[in-house]
Amino acid sequence: MSQYLMNDLVPTIDTMELENILRADGIPVDVLNRCSHKYFHINRLEEYHRLAKIPLKSDSQPRRMNVYSFFYLTKGKSIRGNGFDTYEFGENTFYFIPSYQISIFNSALKDVEGYYCHFTLELLTFVTAHYSLLTEFPFLEFNCYPLVKTNEKARANIINVLERLVQEYNADGECRTDILRIYLWSLFTELKPFVETSKPAITNAANSITEQYKKALANNIVQKNKISDYAEMLNITPNHLNKCVKQTTNKSARDLLEEMLLLEAKVLLKQTNLTISEIAFRIGRNELSDFTRFFKTKTGLTPSDYRITKI
């Protein structure tokens, strides 16, 4: 992970700020009051969806949290964005969002059932080093492939563990941290055999280079905003990088770079009190007029209008 993302100044939403956002979107206060554990939360999706019209207004905005989270569907389908890519997933599938990863909720089809959970890494690293944990459970790593598709045979064990977590969490003042940790470890251990089989195959060199480029952009977009910087990182020419990206995505390397810059700008506008000039400088647009023109061309809104809008 880049030094920028490791920096304490990186704009993230913590769990209390998330509760405020959900409250503004109409989620009942008594429900949010149960989400009091800063280090852990879990709920059944079907119960949550009965409380509000999904997706919420705030869901369409790129969001960067300071906690790890996952969704597990037992019924229905959902579509979520992770950086550049959009993923549609259905039952028996986990969707992971590592801490600091920019994510967007696109849509969920009706009658979705399953679980949502978020937790801090400290809850799991109480007994092991950070790097060991990410080696053990690679779906928690920044820029990981977010989907882990399990099978019917594992379903009963997975739901049993998730229900045990729900039960412990809803014990409120009697909720035991050590029990949460044990069951999360048990759950993630159940998923390990499915990690490699869930990943799409890398079909050719162009695909591999494009994936490396996407990860490099997510890690370094604030420090590096030139195509030549990334070509150098990947030990290829800018022309070859562009050719690979075009072949794989039908977009140019410049298109992807600007998409990442736009995501970063949106997060900075919504999650910080930085001035628009300061945000422009952070994403390499030293002239405010240049940033405003760039942002409006991409979104139809000026940065100021986007900052104050609720959608």
CA within 13 Å, CB half, 159:
14
CA gap 132, 66 in Å, rounded: 20
**Are residue 175 and residue 219 in the same domain, yes or no?**
no
**Are residue 164 and residue 15 in the same domain, yes or no?**
yes
Query: Nearest CA to 236 among 253, 219, 256, 257?
Result: 253
Q: Name the residue range of residue 54's domain.
A: 3-198
Q: Identify residue 70 by its one-letter amino acid code.
A: F
**Are residue 151 and residue 261 in the same domain, yes or no?**
no
Query: Among 164, 179, 198, where does a domain finish?
Result: 198
What pLDDT is recorded for position 57?
A: 63
**Are residue 193 and residue 277 in the same domain, yes or no?**
no
Query: Among 148, 177, 198, where does a domain finish?
Result: 198
What pLDDT is recorded for position 286?
A: 85
**Are residue 145 and residue 249 in the same domain, yes or no?**
no
Q: Residues 163-177, buried b or exposed e (16+ Cβ, 10 A)? A: ebbbebbeeeeeeee
**Are residue 222 and residue 80 in the same domain, yes or no?**
no
Q: Identify residue 192 by its one-letter amino acid code.
A: K
Task: Read off the CATH number of the domain in which 254 is found.
Answer: 1.10.10.60
**Are residue 164 and residue 20 in the same domain, yes or no?**
yes
Omega prior to 98 cis, within 30 of 0: no
Q: How many folded domains does the chain comprise?
A: 2
Query: Nearest CA to 311 among 60, 25, 106?
Result: 60
What pLDDT is recorded for position 54?
A: 63
What pLDDT is recorded for position 101?
A: 87
CA gap 300, 162 in Å, rounded: 42
**Are residue 183 and residue 217 in the same domain, yes or no?**
no
Query: Among 143, 170, 198, where does a domain finish?
Result: 198
**Are residue 57 and residue 158 in the same domain, yes or no?**
yes
10 Å Cβ neighbour count for 38?
Answer: 13
**Which DSSP letter does residue 226 get?**
S
Residues of the chain below pLDDT 50: 3-4, 6, 8, 35-36
What pLDDT is recorded for position 38?
A: 75
**Which DSSP letter does residue 57 get?**
G
Q: Give this prediction's pTM.
A: 0.85
**Are residue 140 and residue 287 in the same domain, yes or no?**
no
CA angle in degrees (0–180, nearest 5) for 257-222-219: 75
- Which long-range contacts (C-beta less than 8 Å, at least 24 apart) are formed by 307-311? 307/269, 307/270, 307/276, 310/57, 310/58, 311/57, 311/60
**Are residue 223 and residue 277 in the same domain, yes or no?**
yes
CA gap 188, 101 in Å, rounded: 19
Task: Read off the CATH number of the domain in which 161 is found.
Answer: 2.60.120.280
Strand ranges inside the chain, DSSP E? 40-44, 63-64, 68-75, 78-82, 85-89, 93-97, 102-108, 113-119, 147-149
**Are residue 227 and residue 134 in the same domain, yes or no?**
no
